[in-house]
Amino acid sequence: MSKRILIVDDEADINTALREILESNGFTVNTFENPRLALDNFKPYFYDLLILDIKMPEMSGFSFYREIKKLDDKMKVCILTAAEIKYGEYSDILSSLPDNCIIQKPVTSEDLLKIIYKVIQCNLK
């Protein structure tokens, strides 16, 4: 059975590139550019992994994370960002990420897949 990944990033080209990489490696991928639309369409306990951008209009990735965790407390999450992450007020979220799963943009296909396999493999234990 294919592993399901949800990607929420306001940049369409990022979503397309990540989807192509992941689908060509056997994953089933859904993408959303609008975090509110992603929340409205979210299916609890359906996805194996959420890849989430931090800086988005309308709703930050951190706010989205908190809403998703209310709906699916088992969801594995990787943060995708071009910005430097400062722990501060979000240290609770960042410390809860599996293997501190922060994906820095730009990311190579090889590095992305290494991270994804590691996180999803953790989910299978």
Query: Half-sphere exposure of residue 95, counting CA atoms within 13 Å on the CB side?
Result: 6
Question: What percentage of residues in the chain have a pLDDT greater than 90?
Answer: 66
Class of domain 4-124: alpha beta
Return the pLDDT at 36: 96
Is the per-residue pLDDT at 124 higher than 60? no
pLDDT digits (tens, 9 = 90+) for 108-121: 999 999 999 989 87
**Domain segments of the chain as ranges:** 4-124
Is the per-residue pLDDT at 122 higher than 70? no
pLDDT digits (tens, 9 = 90+) for 41-65: 999 999 999 999 999 988 999 999 9
Return the pLDDT at 1: 63
The mean predicted confidence, pLDDT, of the chain is 88
The pTM of the whole model exceeds 0.85 = yes
Is the per-residue pLDDT at 94 higher than 90? no
For residue 5, list its beta bridge partners.
Answer: 29, 49
Is the per-residue pLDDT at 125 higher than 50? no
